[in-house]
Structure 1
Amino acid sequence: MFAEHKSPGARPAGSLMPSPDLCTEEEVVRLVHTFYSKVRKDPVLAPIFESHIDDWDRHLARIVDFWSSALRGTARYKGAPMPKHAALPGLTPALFHRWLALFRETTQALENAALQQRADDLAHRIAGSFWYGYQARHGELPDGDRAH
């Protein structure tokens, strides 16, 4: 598995400290809604998301809170995303890379270069953390064998 794919989170990152001066709340909303619009149309990712999200309006509001907290420091997000993501069956590095590619495609269209860089760096960190959390939960070893 790892011979064919780099770790989904393998990317150096700059300062990831949130700042209200980085962007507006409207930019966060636009980023999240544009990205998830692409996810919902993606032939690979859409079936996964659609099978686990019942209320998209509620989900998007929660994700806006997450990214607002991460980027702007609003502290509105109070959840624990790792357990829910780690519980999903059948995730692969290719799915994480696809998620990151769509995210980068979305951020590249942003006019705010600082937001683009910070969001990309955070997305890579998040993907890496989720992938390692997923592996720990599912007992995956680097050669693809399962722990006993």
Structure 2
Amino acid sequence: MPEPRIEITEAEIARVVARFYARIRAHPGLGPVFAKHVEDWPAHEALVTDFWASAILGRPGYRGSPLKAHQEARDVRPGMFSPWLALFDMTLREELPPETAQAWSTLAHRIGRTLRAGVTERETFEGGVPKLR
């Protein structure tokens, strides 16, 4: 198993994920969008915990494509990633030591840029021309 990118336990990852999604559900802009796509919150949180355990700890087992999921969710817009990341950063700062929170935030922002780019690409034609329908 590779060395973890960040010194953190899987239990801490699960705690951050649960607290973060409690905030998402309460957010007036993001909550309704997530509610359309997440039928089983405990299963979704377990999947996201597996994703982060894979990304941070190198733990095998995550099966999924966050980029594909976000691109296929037609109501996920590029502008949603800034408030999403702000809520995630707030949760990290409250739940983890500063250096751990900052390291995870850096990774989350890198992944967020990739997801935002994928959603933006879905919304434009070649050459950056916006799709208006």
From 101, 115, 119, the counterpart of 1:116: 101
* Partner in structure 1 of residue 76 of structure 2: 91
TM-score under structure 1 length normalisation? 0.78
Aligned-partner residue type, residue 134 of structure 1? V
Q: Please say if residues 32 and 60 of structure 1, whose CA atoms lie closer than 8 Å, have aligned partners that are also in contact.
A: yes
Gaps of 5+ in 1: 1-16
Deviation at 1:115, TM superposition (A): 2.2
- Structure 1 residue 143: deviation in Å? 7.1
**Equivalent in the alignment of 2:87:** 102
Between 1 and 2, higher relative CO (CA 8 Å, sep ≥ 6) is seen in 1
Alignment TM-score, normalising by the size of structure 2: 0.86
Residue 77 in structure 1 maps to residue 30 in structure 2:
no
d(CA) in 2 for partners of 1:82, 1:103: 18
Percent pairwise identity: 33
Tell me which protein shows more helix as a share of its residues. Answer: 2
- Separation in 1 of the partners of 2:3 and 2:84? 22
Gaps of 5+ in 2: none
Cα root mean square deviation, aligned: 2.4
Q: Which whole-Å CA distance do the structure 2 matches of 1:119 and 1:132 have between them? A: 20
